[in-house]
Amino acid sequence: MEDLLKPDYGVLVLTICNFLLLVYLLKKFAWNRIIGGLEKREQQIAEDKAQAQQARQAAETLKRELDEKLTQISDEAAKRLAEAVKLGDTQKEQILAAAKEQSERLLAQAKAQIEAEKNKALADVRGEIARTAVLAASKVVQQQMSEESAQSVVDRVLQEIKAK
Amino acid sequence: MDVAEIISHHILDHDWGVTLSGFRIPVTTHTVTLLIVSLVLLLGLHWISLGRQSRAGRLLTTLMEEYVSFIRDGIVLPNMGKEGKSFLPYFCTLFLFVLCSALAGLIPNMKTATANISVTAGLALCSGGLILYCGLKFHGILGFLKGFIPSGTPGWLVPLIFPLEVVSMIIKVCVLAIRLFANMLSGHMVLICLLLIIFVVGQMHIAAGAGALVPAMGLELFMTCLELLVAFLQAYVFTLLTSIFAGSVIHTH
């Protein structure tokens, strides 16, 4: 068991040579490629990250600009809408006033026309009455009626006409 | 064969007695294990580094990149700074070499090479050489020697402090070897002792031996799992301490 702590210098030297040679060979045939691949991938990730960051910043700037434009457009739209409503109200008032004026004018014309028609009709009726009166008078004369009876006939005829 | 002989046989290195023109070639069970481990690592990592397009190839490449990333970001850079980046292949190899040498002992007919003081001393000397190289490379001879004197030390204390610090550094390197050796050896001794319980009890009575079989095998299984953990832990500790010591001479007080 005492051999456990007794160094074997041959093994020691062989271990050192073996390990250092392994370090050299692995560095040449393996680690350089693996570390290179790792660094390349990390660089790629860093570049992608930087690009993504730039794209994000650009997107945020664009979003900010679009928001500003949208706000401007909204304000403009609201302003124009208010103007349109105001214009609409004005036009509505004007149209209503014109319509009222026209309706009043038409009403007045209609009344005047009715009045004229009425007067004309009354004139016609009077003429008809006169002709009827003449006719009645002639009949009375023909039948030699008294003046009273002729008057009564005329009155009766007038009442009949009014009743109609 | 008594118990001590069985344990010795299981633990100790066996020289195959190869000589060349009367000169002894150290072909032993442990050195052969180290050579096999080195060959497997070299061929395996070279195959992985070629970046095969198969699913397994891609998986292993990603795994190795994660491993390198772990060694770099978890061990080398925090302790040695950016200056340690050029030593990354050394540390990547060191961790895998110590780990695989320890794990090799779990394979039947192979030995745990790191349970040999000569092997761990060789690895510790490599680490010591690296520490020395780092000190000389980044500070020169005088700067490296000055690094052994803590800042603010009174002049009259320097002759006392300087040798103490040098011895401290040497002890640190020696402790690297002893720690790894002792941990690996103790685990294997416990494993063989647990197995021997069955035979020792069985010599008293065959039924007692049969009765001891199940608990002994359960403990054996538990210890084997513990050995797996210890193998990873010691590889990590060895690599970490080497990087800390190297970092301490790069970034002096």
Joined together, the tokens standing for residue B64 give 């190795």
Confidence of residue B240 (pLDDT cuts 50, 70, 90): very high
- How far is C-alpha A63 from the geometric centre of its chain's CA atoms? 26
CB–CB of B16/B28 below 8 Å?
yes
B contacts of A7 (beta carbons < 8 Å): 117-118, 121
- Residue A19's pLDDT band, with cuts at 50, 70 and 90, is very high
Note if the pTM is more than 0.80: no
pLDDT value at A135 more than 70: yes
Q: How far is CA B75 from the centre of its chain?
A: 16
pLDDT above 80: residue A144: no
Residue-level pLDDT at A164? 66
Give the SS3 label for residue B60. helix
pLDDT at residue B1 is higher than 60: no
Cβ pair B26:A14 closer than 8 A: yes
Does A38 lie at the interface with B, CB-CB under 8 angstroms? yes
Q: Domains of chain A: which residue ranges? A: 7-163
**By three-state DSSP, how is residue B15 classified?**
strand
Q: Which of A6, A11, A23 sits opposite B26 (nearest CB)?
A: A11
Taking residues B139-149, what's their average pLDDT?
88
Give the model's pLDDT for residue A103: 94
Phi, psi of B28, deg, nearest 5: -125, 175
Could you read off the pLDDT of B170-229 as tens digits, one per residue? Answer: 999 999 999 999 999 988 888 888 888 888 888 888 888 888 888 889 998 998 899 899
Are the C-beta atoms of B142 and A36 separated by less than 8 Å? no
- The ipTM (two decimal places) reads 0.90
Residue B170, SS3 per DSSP: helix
Mutant choice from B7, B29, B49, B61 vs A, greatest count of A C-beta within 10 A: B49
**Residue of chain A nearest B5, judged by CA positions:** A1
Q: What is the pLDDT of residue A96?
A: 95
The helix/strand count (H/E) of chain B reads as 8, 2
Which residue from B minimizes the CA distance to A5?
Answer: B117
- State what percent of residues in chain B have pLDDT above 70: 99
The residue of chain A nearest to residue B27, with distances taken between CA atoms, is: A11
Tell me whether residues A13 and B88 touch, CB distance under 8 A.
no
Interatomic CA distance for residues B162 and B169, integer angstroms: 11
Place of tokens 């005088």: B142
Q: Do B88 and A31 touch (CB under 8 A)?
A: yes
Residues of B in contact with A26 (CB under 8 A): 41-42, 45, 89, 92-93
| Neighboring chain B residues of A40 at a CB cutoff of 8 Å | none
3-class secondary structure, B152: coil
Residue A37 has pLDDT above 70, yes or no: yes
